Amino acid sequence: MSDQTKIQLSPFEMNLLNNSEWILTKNLIVKKAQRLLEEVQENIWQHVKKNCVDLPLEVISISPKISKGENYNGLPWLMLDYPRYFQKENQTGREAGVFAIRTMFWWGHFFITTLHLSGQYKEKYSSAIVRSYDALSKNEFYTCINNEQWHHHFEEGNYLPVKDFAADDFADHIDKRSFVKLSCQLPFAKWNDAPGLLSESFIRITKWLG
């Protein structure tokens, strides 16, 4: 009988295995993050209903949604999508396109607010985005430089700060891309103020597009 590879635990791993408190605490934090995003969801939903936000009816008529998972780059996450219009194929007679404002909780990192546009919506709002260069720079937004549009991390090759571009270069960057993703981070150190700050990021984006 051949020797089998031993699957061993380090002392640190064995400690965690015998300690239920850490996983229960993790579950509690995720539940609190869910409630926090639910508060943001209510804030932005009420804002859109009360303030006649000038966005396409088809994208704001779909209700907000919070999704969750355990493994984005190995870590738990939650995602609030509103608007959440993902028409990747032309099945309804409308031109394909994405229009989404996404608020993400990513364990071990930060909250992320992202404007994601492609297709007809990228074309419609490109000029407004270019005009917002100063505001995007001031509010520490990043722009996606990746050819793949479904990554959320801020590692090399995915995002660069808008302020790293000259205004003309930023306009050229937006013009040449088939999609636009503009994102900002909110550190967990601001957790207590996060519902208001994340709601403000949403409102700020809708004003830039108006």
Letter for the amino acid at 89?
E
Cβ pair 102, 79 in contact under 8 A:
yes
Cα angle 131-134-138, degrees, rounded to a multiple of 5? 145
Q: Does residue 24 form part of some domain? A: yes
Q: Does residue 169 form part of some domain? A: yes
State residue 114 phi and psi, 5-degree precision: -135, 135
pLDDT digits (tens, 9 = 90+) for 128-139: 999 999 999 999
Domain coverage including residue 99: 11-209
Q: Does residue 83 form part of some domain? A: yes
Cα angle 146-199-144, degrees, rounded to a multiple of 5? 5
pLDDT digits (tens, 9 = 90+) for 97-143: 999 999 999 999 999 999 999 999 999 999 999 999 999 999 999 99
- What is the pTM (predicted TM-score) of this model? 0.92
- 162 vs 199: CA distance, rounded Å: 21
Answer left, alpha or beta for residue 32, where phi above 0 means left and psi between -120 and 50 means alpha: alpha
pLDDT digits (tens, 9 = 90+) for 38-48: 999 999 999 99
pLDDT band at 91 (very low <50, low <70, confident <90, very high): low
Q: Does residue 3 form part of some domain? A: no
- pLDDT confidence of residue 92: 55
pLDDT digits (tens, 9 = 90+) for 3-35: 567 899 999 999 999 999 999 999 999 999 999
Answer left, alpha or beta for residue 69, where phi above 0 means left and psi between -120 and 50 means alpha: beta
Q: Does residue 5 form part of some domain? A: no
Q: What domain count does the chain have?
A: 1
